[in-house]
Amino acid sequence: MTRWLASVQSLEEAQSLIEHLPDILDMKNPSQGALGALTHQTVTEIVRWVNHRCLCSATVGDLTMQADILSAAISDMAATGVDYVKIGIFDEPDLSRCIEQLESTIKAIHTPVIAVMFADQLPAQKMIPTLAKAGFAGVMLDTAIKNGQGLLDHLSIGTLKRFVVEAKSAGLLCGLAGALTIENIQQLSPLEADYLGFRSALCHQQTRTSFLDPELAKQIHSQMNAGMPKAKTG
């Protein structure tokens, strides 16, 4: 069954989800870009409050693809106690080399690292084999430009299915996000990604930088837990 991820920007938001905790509580600063980072202090406070009631993840920020910068950011965020560290994969000239150079850091920290690729800025080269070889634990799709367009405005269901199959074939966890709505759950659940990620759908008027609404989280939680029929094969 596909799990769900909810992104929060503060301890207060996390606490507002106490009755409907997601499978993965993600921490990011939506006012600072697609993968804006919260302070390590805030992340640590949220991790301690969660106290293993669900998994926790956190982003390191929209950083340039330089191995030394990313290695330091990954190590520092891993020290907060999160279960997953998420980094953005941006289409820059040294992308593949950067990923290869991160292998030693990823293996040293013992905290799974998730690569976030962007449906509206996908790298020209296929990245999943490179990510798997470097030791990444998972890969997800999101959207980089937060302009109201969602994942399905950029990629078809067929393309997303191929992404999920390729990721799982490489032994990676697979997530789908990017301005997803509650209506998208029925469309995307049959693809059998490991999780679907939500932020804007949890906020008033789908404004990702506004405060999270627990009632909207309840609706997402109920819809996800209801389960969806698996896609037919053959």
Compute the distance between CA of residue 163 and CA of residue 217 in angstroms, rounded to an integer.
27
Q: How buried is residue 166: exposed, middle or buried, by Cβ count under 10 Å (0-12/13-18/19+)?
A: middle
Angle at 6 between CA 89 and CA 217, to 5 degrees: 150
Q: Catalytic site residues?
A: 28, 86
Collapsing DSSP to helix, strand or coil, 44 comes out as helix
Compute the distance between CA of residue 181 and CA of residue 202 in angstroms, rounded to an integer.
9
Other CB atoms within a 10 A radius of the CB of residue 140 amount to: 27
Q: How buried is residue 211: exposed, middle or buried, by Cβ count under 10 Å (0-12/13-18/19+)?
A: middle
Please report, as a single letter, which amino acid is at residue 10.
Answer: S
